[in-house]
Amino acid sequence: MSTPTYFGSLNDFKKGGVTVINDDPKHYVFSNVFEVASKSKPYEKVAVGKNLNYVIEAVRAEGNSPWYACEHDEAALVMDGEVEVHYVKPDRPQTPAGKEGTVKLAGEPAGQKMGWVKVRRGHMALLPKGAAYQFRSAAPGVMLVQTILGDCTVEKWGEICQK
């Protein structure tokens, strides 16, 4: 007997769980990215996975995000909806040397516009080192952003994990 595949969305998801056998549930992490995004502010970057200093952040895409930059490559995977990613090659560096994680900028930096990409469910956009980027979404959606733990990452493990 096969189990059907169910694709969730921001408006229609079922929270699963981890079945713990002879162990303490606190040793495991389980959260639902759609549930996390449904309770998040637009562009709040909530960690839902962590390995050393690397994180996967669930992000609610809605409206225009602030401008961001990073000293290392990042990637954004759209899980629900449609998101435009706009890029600028700044005239000068936007992040302090050696600073890890995403840095929120005060506004659009001066520099050469690099264009934009439109990503939909299942599509991924590279957020390259040294470039500034902004997300734009006409309707609420969900993204997973792969990055390094930084000042913009919000850790809510006690709120989002199965207990």
Q: What is the pLDDT of residues 113-157, one digit of tens each?
A: 999 999 999 999 999 999 999 999 999 999 999 999 999 999 998
How far is it, in rounded angstroms, from Cα 156 to Cα 162?
Answer: 12
What band does 32 get if pLDDT is binned at 50, 70 and 90?
confident
How far is it, in rounded angstroms, from Cα 131 to Cα 69?
Answer: 6
pLDDT value of position 161: 74
pTM across the whole model:
0.88
Question: What CATH number has the domain spanning 42-160?
Answer: 2.60.120.10
Strands 111-120, 68-69: pairing is unpaired
pLDDT value of position 74: 98
DSSP secondary structure letter of residue 27: G
Structure tokens at 92: 């000068």
Domain residue extents for the chain: 42-160
As a whole-number percent, the residues of the chain with pLDDT over 70 amount to 91
Query: What sign does the CA torsion over 92, 83, 51, 38 have?
Result: positive
Mean of the pLDDT values across residues 11-27? 73
Backbone dihedral angles phi then psi of residue 15, each to the nearest 5 degrees: -80, 125
